[in-house]
Structure 1
Amino acid sequence: MNTPGEAQHYTLALLVKLFEHLPLSVIVQILYDIVCQLHQSCIKWGFLKPYMSCTTFSISIFHAFSHQWPCQIIYHLCKTIGYGLLDGEGAERLWHSLSQLIAYGQVAGFHVRMYHLNSQLEFANEEGLFKLGGWLRCKLFACNAKWMEATQVLASCRFEEQVLYNEWEKQVQVQTKPLPCMFLSLTL
């Protein structure tokens, strides 16, 4: 990568390479800052066409609110089926943990930079494994609490789940359709 900005061709090339190594029965969930643009490009230009049936697209929690309302309705992580309570910020946390190496890495040689990155990643991996049990326990309690709350809310609303899904689909259709064109007629 030698240009600034988000270039879709890098993402598409990585995804094609990933799909070459996966069976078509695997569902790939793509979390990307500008996934709405990537998804529309895939639809319009046929990118990833053989893999679209086993792919879902979503925007991480942090980036979702900088998008327009229709993007939030369609691609927000909490509104996309299959992502659970994921926030999609794992890579951001990883880069933050490595940020202390940026200044040093700019002046270090290639091999020294790779050694330090590798050492830092190994340390983070060992530390993460050591704390994994407590993290899983905390997440399990949080999931159970959310499940209980959602079950109570669903039971109290007096509607079947399928009716709610259908209403949500109608709401998405209405709130994502193009706005009518308003022409200003000037009469002289």
Structure 2
Amino acid sequence: MTSAGERQHYALALIKSLFGHLPDNFHIGLLYDIGCQLEQSCRKWGFLKSFLPHISFAISVFHASGFGLSDGEGCEHFWSSIKGLIPSLHVSGYHQCLFVIDFQVCHLDMKSLTGLGQWLFHCWNHCQEKKAAANRGLRRCGVDIPTLQAEWVAQKSLANYEAKLEVLEKDLLHGVADMTSLNIQIAECHQKVKCFKEALQNQRATLGINGHSNLASIQKSAYLQLLMHALAIKKCIRDCLCQ
């Protein structure tokens, strides 16, 4: 970097460099506070044309969650952990700066790894508490929790694949280098959308009129949101432990 500020060419260079280290079939989620402007520039001027079908742009809003359970603030967290080096590195040579930063990164990696078990244990207990509270609230509302979970998962999955399909179809209109890969992804999305629509129809058919009305009435319930977030965190922790 040669100047201050969030210059767009820095972001473009970073994204291009990232894709140079990824397999051709990778799809990434790009969380950026001005991601809408960056995507518009790419589509208008042809920047990153060969990579656009493999990118989903998103915007972080006041540190809200972005993709998965990330708030998109990883770089800020890292910067906070090394800011104590600033005074001494101001008067250090180039190679000494690189050595100190590399050494500090290794130290932070080891520190994070050492505390990983305790962090997972804390998150697991917190998740269980929130899940129990959500379940109690939903039972007071007379909700069939397993049916509700299945309905919620199917709805979210359907919405995600419909959004992805919309992006892929836009890419098809603009034209991409690898049309074969794009058509395969579109066909897979169509199949997933069809499957989840059928699953939702089957689930709603088993609920009946009263069950469906009850489910629709609590779609925006705070208890429901709490339960779904707890289940998502629980799944993430379980996946980490399995790895």
TM-score interval, normalised by the smaller of the two chains: 0.5 to 0.7
Tell me, in whole angstroms, the C-alpha distance in 2 between the residues paired with 1:14 and 1:133: 32
Q: Quote the residue 2:88 is aligned against.
A: 104
CA positional deviation for 1:128: 0.5
* Structure 1 unaligned regions, length at least 5: 67-75, 170-188
Q: Quote the residue 1:24 is aligned against.
A: 24
* Structure 2 unaligned regions, length at least 5: 164-243
Q: 1:95 aligns with which of 63, 69, 79?
A: 79
Q: Quote the residue 2:57 is aligned against.
A: 57
TM-score when scaled to structure 2?
Answer: 0.51
Quick one: structure 1 residues 137 and 28, their matched pair in 2 at CA, closer, same or farther if it must change by over 3 Å? same
- % identical equivalent positions: 40
Contact 1:42 1:49 in 2 (8 A): yes
SS of 1:107's partner is: coil
1:46 is the counterpart of 2:43: no
Contact 1:58 1:77 in 2 (8 A): no
Tell me, in whole angstroms, the C-alpha distance in 1 between the residues paired with 2:87 and 2:6: 23
- CA RMSD for the aligned pairs? 3.3
SS of 1:57's partner is: strand
Give the structure with the larger helix fraction. 2
Q: How does 1:1-188 map to 2 (within 5 A)?
A: 1-60=1-60, 64-65=61-62, 77-78=65-66, 83-142=67-126, 149=134, 155=148, 161=155, 165=159
Tell me, in whole angstroms, the C-alpha distance in 1 between the residues paired with 2:30 and 2:96: 33
CA positional deviation for 1:147: 7.0
Tell me, in whole angstroms, the C-alpha distance in 2 between the residues paired with 1:144 and 1:84: 19
Ranked by relative contact order (alpha carbons within 8 Å, sequence separation 6 or more), the top structure is 2
Contact 1:32 1:58 in 2 (8 A): yes
Tell me, in whole angstroms, the C-alpha distance in 2 between the residues paired with 1:90 and 1:138: 20
CA positional deviation for 1:24: 2.6
Structure 2 letter corresponding to 1:110:
Y
Structure 2 letter corresponding to 1:161:
Q
TM-score when scaled to structure 1?
Answer: 0.64
Structure 2 letter corresponding to 1:20:
G
